Amino acid sequence: MKIQEAQQFYRKQFDLYGKHIDYPELDEGLAADIVEQMGRPFTSVLELGAGKGNLARCLAGRGKSVTTVELVPELVEYAEQFQSPDVTSICGSFYDIELPRQFDAVLYMDGFGVGTDAEQLQLLRRIHDWLCDDGAALIDIYEPTYWKQTSGRTMTLPGDVSRVYGYDDSRNRMTDTWWPTDRPDEKMTQSLACYSPEDIHEMCKQARLQIIAYFPGGAMDYEAWSYHEVASLAQCISYRIKVVKMR
C-alpha cells in the first residue's frame, strides 16, 4: 500500500467509523502498558501514526511531553480540538518529515508495514536516528500465521459497517477491507506487511537496532467469537517489539 493509498484509507475510515467510536479504557490501558514496557523513567515521546491523538493525550496525562506525526490532515485537526499543552501535533509522512531532536521513547502502535520492505527498513533507520542514546522504541508488528488463518473472516461493526480480512501469501501482507454494509461498492482496503519474529529481527539489525523484548498481543477465537488477551508469539494478532540502539 502506497502512502497516498494509506492516506485515503485512513481518511475514509475516520469519516465512516472513527468520529463516532472511542474506547477510552483501552487507550488508558495502552498508556499503562507502554509505561510498564519501557521499564525506565522517560519524558519525551514521539508517536508515529497518532490517529485521533487519544494515546498521546493519555501519555500527556502521565507527565509525558508528546510529539505526534500523523499523515491525515483531518485526523490532526480532530486531535487538536482536544489537545493537551504537552502534545505537539505534526501533519506529514514519517518517511520524509524532518524532526530536529531526539526522544526518550518512539512509539508506533498498530500500523507498521504500510509500505514496502525497503520503506519499513528506511523507517527503522529513521527511528534509530530519532532515539536518544539511552532511549527505546516500541513497535507493533503483525504476525503472519494469525492473518493466514483468519483470511476470509467477515464481521459487522457498530454503525452498520462491514469488514473482511484477507491475506496475500505472495507478498506476506494482511488486507483489511471496510465498507458501509448497504453500499458494498464503496469498499476500501488497507494492506500491511506481516513479519515473523525472525524476519523483523534481521530487519532491525540492518537498521542498527537491537530487539531486547517481545510482547505478544492477544488473538480472536472466531469459532467462540471471543477475544483472548494472551496468545503465543506465533499465534497472536500482533506482537510488540522493544528496540534500542546497537551498542
C-alpha–C-alpha distance, residues 39 and 43, integer Å: 13
Q: What is the mean pLDDT of residues 201-229?
A: 94
* Number of structural domains found in the chain: 1
Tell me what pLDDT residue 185 has.
93
Residue 133's CB: how many other CB atoms inside 10 A?
A: 8
**Which range in 21-30, 72-81, 135-144 is most confidently predicted, on average pLDDT?**
135-144
Quote the cell numbers at residue 135: 532511549
Q: What is the mean pLDDT of residues 179-192?
A: 92
The burial class, CB within 10 Å (0-12 / 13-18 / 19+), for 166 is: middle
Per the structure, the complete domain to which residue 51 belongs is given by: 3-142+195-217+238-245
Q: What is the mean pLDDT of residues 166-190?
A: 93
Measured between alpha carbons, how far is residue 125 from residues 34, 65, 141, 187, 192 in Å?
A: 22, 23, 16, 34, 19
**pLDDT tens digits for 83-92?**
889 999 999 9
- Residue 91 included in any domain: yes
Helix boundaries (H) for the chain: 3-13, 24-38, 54-60, 73-80, 117-130, 144-150, 197-206
Residue 233 pLDDT exceeds 80: yes
Tell me what pLDDT residue 149 has.
94
- Residue 149 included in any domain: no
The burial class, CB within 10 Å (0-12 / 13-18 / 19+), for 235 is: middle
Residue 230 pLDDT exceeds 70: yes
- Residue 129 included in any domain: yes
**pLDDT tens digits for 53-69?**
999 999 999 999 999 99
- Residue 160 included in any domain: no
Q: What is the mean pLDDT of residues 29-52?
A: 97
C-alpha–C-alpha distance, residues 199 and 239, integer Å: 13
Residue 178 pLDDT exceeds 80: yes
Residue 78 pLDDT exceeds 80: yes
Q: What is the mean pLDDT of residues 9-26?
A: 79
Tell me what pLDDT residue 225 has.
83
**pLDDT tens digits for 121-158?**
999 999 999 999 999 999 999 999 999 999 999 988 87
Tell me what pLDDT residue 20 has.
65
* Global confidence as pTM: 0.95
- Residue 167 included in any domain: no
CATH number of the domain to which 207 belongs: 3.40.50.150
- Residue 223 included in any domain: no
C-alpha–C-alpha distance, residues 228 and 170, integer Å: 29
Task: Map 127-141 to HEC letters.
Answer: HHHHEEEEEEEEEEE
Q: What is the mean pLDDT of residues 222-244?
A: 92
- Residue 183 included in any domain: no
C-alpha–C-alpha distance, residues 204 and 207, integer Å: 5
Q: What is the mean pLDDT of residues 2-23?
A: 78
Residue 19 pLDDT exceeds 80: no
- Residue 126 included in any domain: yes
Residue 2 pLDDT exceeds 80: no
User: By the 8 A CB rule, do 164 and 188 touch?
Assistant: no
Average pLDDT, the chain: 93
